[in-house]
Copies of this chain bind each other. A is one copy, B any other.
Amino acid sequence: MNALPRKPRILALSGGVGGAKLARGLTRELSVDELIVVCNTGDDFEHLGLTVCPDLDSVLYAVAGLADDARGWGRADETWNFLDALRAMDGESWFQLGDRDLAQHVQRSAWLRSGLSLSEVTARLGRAHGVRHSIVPMCDEPVRTQLRTAEGWLDFQDYFVRRRAAPLVHDLRYVGAAAARASLAWPAIEPQLDAIVICPSNPYLSIDPILAVPDWHSRVRERRAPVVAVSPIVAGDALKGCAAKMLREFGLAVNPVSIARHYGELLDALVIDSQDAKYANEIEQLGLAVHVTQTVMRNDDDRGGLARTVLDFARGLRARSLASRRA
């Protein structure tokens, strides 16, 4: 096992794409002793007998430098001959499994089947990719996000990939979350934390599944360090995925204010994009600190830069909060 940092300063909650980019940025700014990234596993699923963990893999690949930046998911230099052969056999080819990516799923599934926990397996996969930072699943128990649509409850991948997120969403649930336990012991982590960072991930699909695990919810609710989120909504849209579509379907405005309202009491501060500066006042009126910056991450400089900005902002909040407690 990779030993977890004994005194981490930053705990990040992350989904896939956007979250993975900030997670990579954080690993560039923080030592292996300073950071733990907790990943959503609500969109994990069993496919062709393999356990696929899209968000964990997106973060591992991003941090390892193996991700395909252009496509936004999966591995660089990927080929698709497995899928091609499967399609020729009339197999279940709706979920894109690249040839290189498949090594991850086959190895993970073999290790899980041998009795290792998802945390142990994830640590091994990280090590195999040369990742030294701690990337951990939110819990070891299976949690599965489902969406209630006009067609009834759909499993996440069925909704997101097979139906290309087309069905109207009425509701979500995170099956298994209520009975799951956080994958990390809190007393060892919490005292030193400078901040909890909520990455720019879909709140419904990536962050809420984590917060649906009671341990994580109470830890975030009862935090001593500030909770800082980065808005996944920029200029009226989500950069990737279906956060904007879901906000609309829930009758909410597609802007960072809706993100602030969504997390409510769980949030101390929100980082929003320069294009959304006009919403800063409204968010502050909700009682949150706001930082306006360039949040779109096109390359590693952007990722490291946003990470640094978020960390500086969060540490400033932390310092002010400590000062006000002393006063």
Determine if A103 and B82 form an interchain contact, defined as CB atoms under 8 angstroms apart: yes
The stretch of A83-91, A210-218, A220-228 that contacts the partner chain: A83-91
Q: Which residue of B lies closest to A51 (CB)?
A: B49
Max count, chain B CB within 10 A of own CB: residue among A78, A79, A83, A113:
A79
| Any B CB within 8 A of the CB of A150 | no
Interface string of A52-80 (1 = CB under 8 A from B): 00000000000000000000000101110
Jot down 8 A-B pairs with beta carbons below 8 A, ordered by A. A49-B106, A49-B110, A81-B81, A85-B102, A86-B107, A91-B128, A99-B99, A102-B102
Contacts of A100 in B (CB 8 A): 81-82, 84-85
| Any B CB within 8 A of the CB of A168 | no
Contacting residues of chain A (269-289) with chain B, CB-CB under 8 angstroms: none
| Any B CB within 8 A of the CB of A109 | yes
- Residue of B83, B86, B106 touching A50 (CB-CB under 8 A): B106
Interface string of A218-240 (1 = CB under 8 A from B): 00000000000000000000000
Q: Which 4 pairs, one residue from A and one from B, show the smallest C-beta to C-beta distance?
A: A85-B103, A89-B128, A81-B99, A85-B100
CA distance A88 to B86 in the complex (A): 24
Contacts of A309 in B (CB 8 A): none
> Interface residue count for A (Cβ, 8 Å)?
32
Closest CB of chain B to A42's CB: distance in Å?
23
Determine if B99 and A82 form an interchain contact, defined as CB atoms under 8 angstroms apart: yes
A99/B85 contact (C-beta < 8 A), A49-B113, A79-B79, A106-B49 known? yes
Q: Which residue of B lies closest to A78 (CB)?
A: B81
Closest CB of chain B to A199's CB: distance in Å?
25
Determine if B86 and A103 form an interchain contact, defined as CB atoms under 8 angstroms apart: yes
Known: A81-B100, A82-B103, A85-B100. 20 other contacts (CB 8 A): A48-B109, A48-B110, A49-B106, A49-B110, A77-B81, A79-B81, A81-B81, A81-B98, A82-B99, A82-B106, A84-B100, A85-B102, A85-B103, A86-B103, A86-B106, A89-B103, A89-B125, A89-B128, A90-B128, A102-B102
CA distance A186 to B78 in the complex (A): 49
CA distance A77 to B88 in the complex (A): 14
Q: Which residue of B lies closest to A125 (CB)?
A: B89
| Any B CB within 8 A of the CB of A192 | no
Interface string of A106-123 (1 = CB under 8 A from B): 110110010000000000
CA distance A102 to B84 in the complex (A): 11
